[in-house]
A and B are shown apart, each in its own frame.
Chain A
């Protein structure tokens, strides 16, 4: 089974801090994604990457950046955390469009 591992299950950070969320997958998938999930809004795509060092903006990239230096690792960076970035963050990977799309267990980030 594909395994997607997110580094932290729960995280509490202060406003203005730089925050790194790490995601690692072990199945040599090309595509990796970062979503956030909020009540009533569902999952919204922040950034995705279809290859090493490649990145594409999703629907809500403002306030975020990403890094993909190695195929198995996709990092989400909050340059200066704000309270409206309090959310559940989900990483996912897939081998090709829409198939074998597997999620990590999520990181619940609280910014205070």
Chain B
């Protein structure tokens, strides 16, 4: 079983729509959680950390459910520039474990 699993998508949504997707992780001892964004042929970049109480950063909302071992990302009022692959990341023992990514395409 993979440490981190994501629905690969793609999620094709119109501008202005809300899109949400989850990621599950297998190690219950995981300590920190993040969402990274990766544009085509570019390196991953940190989008936001995920805190136990849930957190927002503008149009982006992240949630953590430790009991069910999943994290989620919700994007409100989607923009064309939100088109990217979103990587779920879980940490433990110095290293990060990455999901394979969820691709989101926002269309005009």
Residues of chain A at the chain B interface (Cβ within 8 Å): 31, 33, 35, 40-45, 48, 50, 56, 58, 90, 97-99, 101-106
Determine whether the beta carbon of B8 is less than 8 Å from that of A106: no
Residues from chain A with Cβ under 8 Å of B25 in the complex: none
Residues of chain B at the chain A interface (Cβ within 8 Å): 4, 8, 31-32, 34, 42-46, 87, 91, 93-101
CA distance A103 to B37 in the complex (A): 12
Determine whether the beta carbon of A103 is less than 8 Å from that of B44: yes
Residues from chain B with Cβ under 8 Å of A40 in the complex: 8, 100
Determine whether the beta carbon of B46 is less than 8 Å from that of A42: no
CA distance A42 to B85 in the complex (A): 11
Residues from chain A with Cβ under 8 Å of B99 in the complex: 42
Secondary structure class of chain A's binding surface, majority of residues: strand
CA distance A47 to B34 in the complex (A): 21
Q: Which 3 A-B pairs have the closest CB atoms?
A: A42-B100, A98-B91, A103-B43
Chain A residue nearest to B3 (CB atoms) is A59
Residues from chain A with Cβ under 8 Å of B44 in the complex: 43, 90, 103
Q: How many A-B residue pairs have CB under 8 A?
A: 50
Most chain B CB atoms below 10 A, which of A40, A58, A101, A104 = A101
Residues from chain B with Cβ under 8 Å of A42 in the complex: 4, 87, 98-101
Q: How far is the CB of B76 from chain A (nearest CB, A)?
A: 26
CA distance A101 to B44 in the complex (A): 10
Residues from chain A with Cβ under 8 Å of B91 in the complex: 97-98
CB < 8 Å neighbour of B94 from A44, A50, A105: A50
Determine whether the beta carbon of A33 is less than 8 Å from that of B43: no
Q: How far is the CB of A75 from chain B (nearest CB, A)?
A: 18
CB < 8 Å neighbour of B43 from A58, A98, A99, A104: A104
Q: How far is the CB of A26 from chain B (nearest CB, A)?
A: 16
Chain B residue nearest to A9 (CB atoms) is B41
Determine whether the beta carbon of B31 is less than 8 Å from that of A43: no
Given the known A-B contacts A40-B8, A98-B34, are A31 and B101 also in contact in the complex, defined by CB atoms under 8 Å? no
